[in-house]
Amino acid sequence: MSGAEPTGTTIVVGGPYFEDLTVGDRYDAAPALTLTEGHAALHQAIVGDRLRLALDADLSERVLGAGRRLAHPLLVCDVAIGQSTLATQRVIANLFYRRLVLLRAPQIGDTLRTSTEIVALRRNRPREGRAATGLAVLRVRTVDQHAREILDFWRCAMLPLRDEASPPGRDDDLDAFGADLPADLTASLQGWDLGAFRAAVPGAHFADLSAPARWELEGGDTVTSAPELARLSLNVAKTHTDPAASRDGRRLVYGGHTIGMAAAALTRALPNLVSILGWHECRHLAPVMEGDVLHTVVSLERVEPLAAGGGLAHLRCEVQAHREDGTRDAVLDWRLVGAFA
């Protein structure tokens, strides 16, 4: 009725502050997401994926088996991270991801479900002129529609305090989480025919790699469509879509966006990368903003042959952002493991 006063109670939806979190809390209410060709196409358009198996359905079937179309590993990671953000809607920054390894390689058509557990908390020391914050380590576990494990990793988020006068609380050791990768990094390659990839794709393969080596990409790539990638991956962290939620009044680009663009640069330097299997570590060194131009340097640190042919490459991507105001900052240090045929 026109002019009627609202009735009932208004519930503010905004996610927990740091002091609302308790070790052992679980968040598993994020919607499940079925990976589609639409997700793959939009992800490719935003970050510039050039991973052959994710682009080429025919090649994917030759390597993975009939009817199997690989979903890009970083699309899978983006969805898992996005589903974990129910706990970190107020995030100020992500400090690291650790022990992230694909336990299975999802395909287009698979459905991902993620549960997130708070495993460690530490309040930061006060800094003059800065609002009080704390660090939360989250264990993020993702399964598919058959309850098969896809990912099991740690993420560290910085969150604001509601009240700077809150008691100090916990002071957990955050370095205790995810120091080492599992002994077997090849779980997601099970049943793949790397020989078929080698036979079908011209150019350099594992036998042609020699460590150490370094590639510096001459051209940069401009960050665009940042909110679209956050929405695509179900990421509800406010700082990615609402400038008022950011410290400096500008939207913060989701960290996985920067990682995805680094991966696209990696596949320009090494176009016959078969897949990304896991991350040793990923550190966000400074924020990225839409309009930044990202420049990537790729290093091959060591190689590891596989008994059945092909092998693993331990790689590092270092990314620098060239800002619209002319400044330059190192923004990403990403150490990963890739498979070659």
Full set of structural domains in the chain with CATH = 18-172+181-340 (3.10.129.10)
Indicate whether 70 pLDDT > 90.
yes
Side chain identity at 84, as an amino acid letter? S
Point out which residues pair with 214 in neighbouring strands.
299
| Per-residue pLDDT, 2 | 47
Residue, of 53 and 172, whose pLDDT is higher: 53
Side chain identity at 41, as an amino acid letter? A
pLDDT tens profile 2-34: 455 656 799 888 899 999 999 999 999 999 999
First to last CA, the chain: 68
Q: How far is CA 82 from CA 17, 61, 177, in A?
A: 18, 28, 21
Indicate whether 128 pLDDT > 80.
no
Interacting residues of 259 by C-beta distance below 8 A, sequence separation 6+: 74, 77, 282, 332, 334
- Host H or E run for residue 44: helix 37-47
Asked if residue 107 lies in contact with residue 69, where contact means CB atoms within 8 angstroms, the answer is yes
Please state, in angstroms and rounded to a whole number, the distance separating the CA atoms of residues 339 and 161.
Answer: 42
Please state, in angstroms and rounded to a whole number, the distance separating the CA atoms of residues 157 and 177.
Answer: 13
Please state, in angstroms and rounded to a whole number, the distance separating the CA atoms of residues 129 and 224.
Answer: 31
Interacting residues of 311 by C-beta distance below 8 A, sequence separation 6+: 206, 209, 303, 304, 305, 339, 340
pTM for this model (two decimals): 0.93
| Per-residue pLDDT, 5 | 60
pLDDT tens profile 293-332: 999 999 999 999 999 899 999 999 999 999 999 999 999 9
- Segment 267-280 shows an average pLDDT of 97
| Per-residue pLDDT, 1 | 42
| Per-residue pLDDT, 211 | 96
| Per-residue pLDDT, 4 | 57
HSE toward the beta carbon, residue 161, CA cutoff 13 A: 20
Indicate whether 178 pLDDT > 80.
no
Please state, in angstroms and rounded to a whole number, the distance separating the CA atoms of residues 60 and 64.
Answer: 6
